[in-house]
Amino acid sequence: MNRTMSSCYFACSCCLLMALAGPGLAHVVLLPLGDSITQAEYHSGIPDQQRPSYRDPLQTLLTNAGIGFDFVGSHTDYCQSGPLPPPVGFPSAGFDPDHEGHWGWTADEIVDGGPVISSCAGGTAGSGKLSDWIPNYPAIPDLVLLHIGTNDIIQGLPPGHTTGVQDLTPAQIAEIKSDIESIITTLKTISNPNLTILLANLIPGTLIDLEVQAVNAEIAMIALADPMVTLVDQYSGFDANTSTYDGVHPNMAGEMHMADRWFTAIQQVTVPEPGAWVCCGMLAFFAAVKKVRLGDRK
């Protein structure tokens, strides 16, 4: 076997081993973006409302899989709905608290800026708007974890809404879709050519399931039309009766469900370390050399 062929086989083996090694070779910067489902709540007197959001079990899954990561966001607060703040170290040692979850905000408020939420007491729903936050992140996001639209639905319902009727008008649904598209347009200003937006369809709510299904159909269309957007199915398999503590916000089971779905999506788009590109570059180079030499043998 000549040296060119040996080098080519070595490069092939190198790339194969890297592929088999999988996500342990990855490091991703994650932007968790959304509303209260992303931010989570801490109520010192109600255990069911001492929730760190899906971000805590997701961090565990990433760590156990050997995927290096960094959460980024403009704040670290929970919505503090009780008299006391979360204890130091909540929810666990080493938890990365950065996020872009904004309690009570709608999709258009992520783009244009939203209100201070008084129910968050000593905590905060955050402030500012997406275009202001992006330049100030300490690292450039690789992946955005976007779950937004629940408050748009709730705030758009008419008085006397019942669970058996889909009560959003076509115009309201179209507006929610347009506002989510505006978020995606703003996210594309992030200076990362390989940015991927993981767009979740909405988890169900006990009183808004028909509305969620209607909005989710539009979310699926957004993902289908945009190559930078990947749909993450958070809806299927999520039981709002058993996986939320109030019909809207996930309990522990709900957070695990969301973390699992995000984790599966992240695994499919993890970023190889530079060495992987170097080795695969070697493969391409030696394959080209081999092709030229074989082509000379006419």
Picking from 158, 155, 265, 261, the residue whose alpha carbon sits closest to that of residue 203 is 261
Q: Alpha-carbon torsion 80, 83, 85, 86, what sign?
A: negative
Beta strands of 179-274 (E only): which ranges?
196-200, 229-232
What pLDDT sits at residue 127? 84
Residue tagged 């008008």 (tokens): 169
pLDDT in tens, 208-226: 999 999 999 999 999 999 9
Q: Evaluate whether 126 touches 75 at the Cβ level (below 8 Å).
A: yes
pTM metric for this prediction: 0.82
Residue 222 tokens, joined:
């957004």
E-strand ranges in the chain read 27-34, 41-42, 68-71, 79-80, 100-101, 143-147, 196-200, 229-232
CA distances 177 to 23, 108, 110, Å, are 33, 10, 14
Instruction: State residue 92's pLDDT score.
Output: 81
List, run by run, the mean pLDDT of 10-residue segments along the chain (298 residues). Answer: 45 42 65 96 86 94 95 91 81 90 95 80 80 96 98 96 93 98 98 96 97 98 97 98 96 97 92 46 38 31
pLDDT for res 270: 67
Written as six digits, the tokens of 212 are 């969620």
Within 13 A of 249's CA, how many CA atoms are on the CB side? Answer: 21
What is the per-residue pLDDT for 12? 44
- Alpha helix stretches (DSSP H) within the chain: 3-21, 36-39, 55-64, 107-112, 130-133, 150-156, 170-187, 209-225, 240-243, 252-268, 274-295
Report the chain's terminal Cα–Cα distance, integer Å: 21
At 288, the amino acid letter reads A
Residues 6+ apart with CB under 8 A from 108: 152, 179, 182
Selection from 29, 85, 63, 48 nearest residue 259 by Cα: 63
The predicted structure's pLDDT at residue 205: 97
Q: 91: cis peptide before it, omega within 30°?
A: yes
CB 91 within 8 A of CB 103: no
CATH of domain 27-64+73-271: 3.40.50.1110
CB atoms within 10 A of CB 287: 14
Provide the residue ranges of all domains of the chain, joining segments of one domain with +: 1-26+275-298, 27-64+73-271
Q: What is the identity of the amino acid at 140?
A: I
| pLDDT value of residue 282 | 42
Token duo for residue 35: 């509303």
